[in-house]
Structure 1
Amino acid sequence: YQAILPIRGKILNVEKASIDKVLANAEIKTMINAFGCGFSEGYGNDFDITRLRYDKIIIMADADVDGAHISTLLLTLFYRFMPELIFEGHVYIAMPPLYKAMPSKGNEEYLYDDKALERYRKRHKGPFTLQRYKGLGEMDAQQLWETTLNPETRMLKLVEIEDARMASEVTEMLMGTDVPPRKAFIYEYAPDAELDI
């Protein structure tokens, strides 16, 4: 059994927001209600992991920069206000493919990154059609089922506390109010930046 909770765009950056704004945010309130276990007791509310309604909370976002940003914002929310979800192994990230290779002869294959596409091109002899997914919304129902919803075929990454801590630190640095660390980060990593067009 699965349930899908659509989130409209990017959620509130909890790193910059007051607790009142966090608790008043419609998207965050909906997630808290859906999960069923409350909010971190560090803020005066009762969090009870035994009331969690789902064994897995899977973040499904596009395989692009915006999707990574949405995932980071969600991980920061969980790490700051519901860390037990991560500590107890309930948070996952869906790994949607970037490409679908369709050879004229043989089986179709989902490819999850550019390296997989390079390997496919080297080993595949003969013509093939390549479909690049710009996002989950571009997939039809069958493709979405095969790649991200079907427990037999989907690829999930378990989020460990180190992933969440790093996401939280990066979010705090890049989106917080302290400018010098953000500026230093941009200067250091700007040469490695790639355009995602």
Structure 2
Amino acid sequence: MDAKLAIENAEISALVRILGLKFGENYSDDEKLKSLRYGRLLIMTDQDPDGSHIKGLIVNFLHMYWPSLLKANYVNYFITPLLKVLLNCF
């Protein structure tokens, strides 16, 4: 997928704009990494097949255009709970 096609997608375009990413930029050094609008990206998806798929799509997209973000541990994952257990609720 080329950058022009990717940026035509509303969600991808919003993610790139919100994070302050630039296509073709290498974020290996700290100065470039600090130029981004946020210090980290935290992916918080549901722990179902759809959530896992969405997380995979985001990581794959970032790896394709900005692999240095993954190497710099810029991308993190929040593992949401599968269920909630309550005591004495009956």
Stretches of structure 2 that go unaligned for 5 or more consecutive residues are 27-31
1:156-175 equivalent positions in 2, closer than 5 A: none
Q: How many residues align?
A: 85
Aligned position for 1:84: 68
Contact 1:34 1:53 in 2 (8 A): yes
Q: 1:65 aligns with which of 29, 36, 49?
A: 49
Q: Deviations over 1:90-139 (max 9, x none)?
A: 101110001111111xxxxxxxxxxxxxxxxxxxxxxx66xxxxxxxxxx
Report the secondary structure of 1:58's partner residue.
Answer: strand
- How far is the alpha carbon of 1:18 from its aligned partner? 3.8
Q: Which has the larger radius of gyration?
A: 1
Contact 1:58 1:91 in 2 (8 A): yes
Contact 1:37 1:49 in 2 (8 A): no
C-alpha distance in 2 between matches for 1:95 and 1:85: 20
State percent identity of aligned pairs. Answer: 28
- How far is the alpha carbon of 1:23 from its aligned partner? 2.2
Aligned position for 2:29: none
Stretches of structure 1 that go unaligned for 5 or more consecutive residues are 1-16, 105-127, 130-197
Letter paired with 1:32: V
Superposed structure 1 runs of 4+ greater than 4 Å apart:
none
Which one has more relative contact order, counting CA pairs under 8 Å at least 6 apart? 2
Report the secondary structure of 2:84's partner residue.
Answer: strand
Report the secondary structure of 1:102's partner residue.
Answer: coil
Report the secondary structure of 2:85's partner residue.
Answer: strand
Higher strand share: 1
TM-score by length of 2: 0.81
Aligned position for 2:77: 93
C-alpha distance in 1 between matches for 2:2 and 2:65: 12
C-alpha distance in 1 between matches for 2:35 and 2:48: 33
For structure 1, which segment, 18-27 or 69-78, has the greater mean C-alpha deviation from structure 2 after superposition?
Answer: 18-27
Aligned position for 2:33: 49
TM-score by length of 1: 0.40
C-alpha distance in 1 between matches for 2:62 and 2:35: 16
Report the secondary structure of 2:81's partner residue.
Answer: coil
- Tell me whether 1:23 sits opposite 2:23 in the alignment: no
1:1-197 equivalent positions in 2, closer than 5 A: 17-39=1-23, 41=24, 46-47=25-26, 48-104=32-88
